[in-house]
Amino acid sequence: MRELTHFIDGAHVAGASGRFSDVFDPSTGAVQARVPLASVEEVQAAVTSAESAQLVWGSWNPQRRARVLLSFLDLVAKDTPNLARLLSSEHGKTLDDAKGDIQRGVEVIEFAAGGPHLLKGEYTSGAGTGIDVYSMRQPLGVVAGITPFNFPAMIPLWKMGPALAAGNAFILKPSERDPSVPLRLAELFLEAGLPAGVLNVVNGDKGAVDAILHDHRVKAVGFVGSTPIAQYIYSTAAANGKRAQCFGGAKNHMIVMPDADLDQVADALIGAGYGSAGERCMAISVAVPVGAEAADALAAKLSERVSQLKVGPALGGDSDYGPLVTREALDRVAGYIQTGIDEGATLLADGRGLEVPGYEKGFYLGPTLFDHVTTDMTIYREEVFGPVLVIARADDYEQALAMASEHEFGNGVAIFTRDGDAARDFAARVNVGMVGVNVPIPVPIAYHTFGGWKKSGFGDLNQHGPDAFRFYTKTKTVTSRWPSGIKEGASFVIPTMH
C-alpha cells in the first residue's frame, strides 16, 4: 500500500500527526493508499516555508514567473497519461473524463501565463499641474486553496495558476479522497523552475483547514465544495481579516422549450447529468420541459437512452461513467433516491443495486431518472451529487424561468430552444451566475470568469479570468510630483486636480 506525504519546502515530507485517512480505488472498493492528516504544526511549517520563499518569487519580474508556468505546461503535457490514470484510479471518473479535468486546468495556466499583461497598472500623466498618478498590482503574499475531490487537477490549477503568476506563494489543501494528482502537480512545478517553498501541499481534514484560516500570515483563501462549508470558510476567513472566494453547492436546471430539438436535448442531458457519475458542480440535475407534450416526449427519450448507458470501472475503456468516489457517497445518493420515492416522485429508472461483474465491491450506482418532481421535494431542493436526473415540469416559460431563478442555488443554468428572442430574454432575466444557450454545461472558457450566485458563491470576485488576478493582488496607487523650484508655502486645503 502506498504511503502518501505532504509537499513542503520543495520536498515530500512524511506525516507527523499520527492521523491518516484511507484512499480508495472506487472501481474495486479496495484501499490503495494512506494519506496523512496534517497537524496545526505541519500547516504552520508550510506557511513558514511559503512566507520565506514568496519574498524571492514575488521579486521576480512577471515575465520570468510566466516562463515557469510555460515550462510547467510542457511537463504536464508529457505527463498527462500518467496524471489521468492516477486521477481515475482515485476519483473513479473515466480516463477520457480525467484528461478533460486536466485540460480544463491547463487552460487556466495558459491564461495565467499572460500575467505580465494582467498585472499592468494604470497611469495618468498630468493629472494635475506637475502631478502624475499611477497604480501597481502587488502580490498579497501567502495565499491558500482548499479544493474538492471531484476535480483534483482542474480546481487546484484554477487556484494556484493565477496566484503564482501574480507573485504569491501558495498553500494547497486538496481533498484527502484523491490527493495524489495535486502532489504530482507540485513535483512538476518544482521541476519547471518554481523555487522550493513557493507551492506547498498539506493534506488534511478540518484541522488543517482551521489552521489555514487562523494563521494571520495567510492573506487569502479560495474554496470549492459544499455550501455549508463554503459559508463556514467564508465567514471564518473574513473574521480573521482574509480575503475569501468560496463556491458551494448547485442545482443546475436545463429549460427545454417546446421548439427545442428533443434528440439534441436528450443527448445533452445524458452527458451533462450522468457524466462523471453526476459528481460535478456544473452537472445538470433538473430538466424543466415546458408543456406536457414536450415533457412526455422528453421522458420517453431519456428513459430509452438511460437504459443503454454502460457503467463500469474507471479504466475499463468502454464505460460511460464510473463509480462514485466512496462507499459513503454511494449510500448518501441511494438515500436520496429512496427519499424521492417516499415523497411521491415517479421513478423511471432505478440505479440502486448495480453490480459490475468482476468489480462487485466497487462503488457503483446506475443512472437514475425521476419524473413529476415538484419544487417542494428534497431531490429538487438539495444537491444530490450523483447520477440522478429529475424532470420537473413547467406549464409555461415564465414558470420555468421562475423555477431556476427562485432556487436557493444559482450556479449554472441552460436553455435549449430555437427561438433567439426567448434565449436572449432568458439570459438577461434568469437569476443564475452562468448561463448556457443550447450548451448543457456552461463552464466559461479560461479568460472569462467562473462563479455562481446566491448560495452557490460567497465573495465579490470569481475564479479564473481577470477576476482571479484582482483577487490575488492588492492595488497600490501612487501620486507623484517633482519639485519645480516654485515656493508655494503650506496648504490646508484637500488636494484637487485643477
Rounded Cα distance, 261 and 279, in Å: 26
Taking the CB of residue 375, how many other CB atoms lie within 10 A of it?
13
How is residue 466 written as a grid cell? 481577470
Tell me phi and psi for residue 229, to 5 degrees.
Answer: -75, -35
Q: Is 246 a catalytic residue?
A: no
Q: How many helices (H) and strands (E) does the chain have?
A: 15, 23
DSSP string, 381-409: HS---SSEEEE--BSSHHHHHHHHHHSSE
Buried b (16+ CB within 10 A) or exposed e, 47-63: bbbbbbbbeebbeeebe
Among 190, 281, 283, 333, the active-site one is 281
- Taking CA atoms, 51 is separated from 33, 117, 210, 215, in Å, by 31, 25, 18, 12
Q: Beta partners for 138? A: 474
- Look at residues 442, 450, 464 and name the one whose alpha carbon lies nearest to residue 157: 464
Residues contacting residue 200 through CB under 8 Å, at least 6 positions apart: 6, 7, 8, 9, 46, 47, 49, 50, 169, 170, 171, 172, 186
Work out the angle at residue 247's Cα, subtended by the Cα atoms of residues 246 and 252, and round it to the nearest 5 degrees.
Answer: 165
Torsion of CA 129, 135, 136, 139, to 10 degrees: 140
- Look at residues 155, 162, 141, 135 and name the one whose alpha carbon lies nearest to residue 242: 141
- Look at residues 182, 124, 191 and name the one whose alpha carbon lies nearest to residue 4: 182
Cα 278 from chain centroid? Answer: 14
Rounded Cα distance, 33 and 3, in Å: 6
25: three-class secondary structure by DSSP: strand
Q: Is the dihedral of CA 400, 401, 403, 409 positive or negative?
A: positive
Q: Say if residues 244 and 234 touch (Cβ distance below 8 Å).
A: yes
Rounded Cα distance, 177 and 396, in Å: 43
The type of residue at 370 is: F
Give the residue numbers marked as catalytic: 281
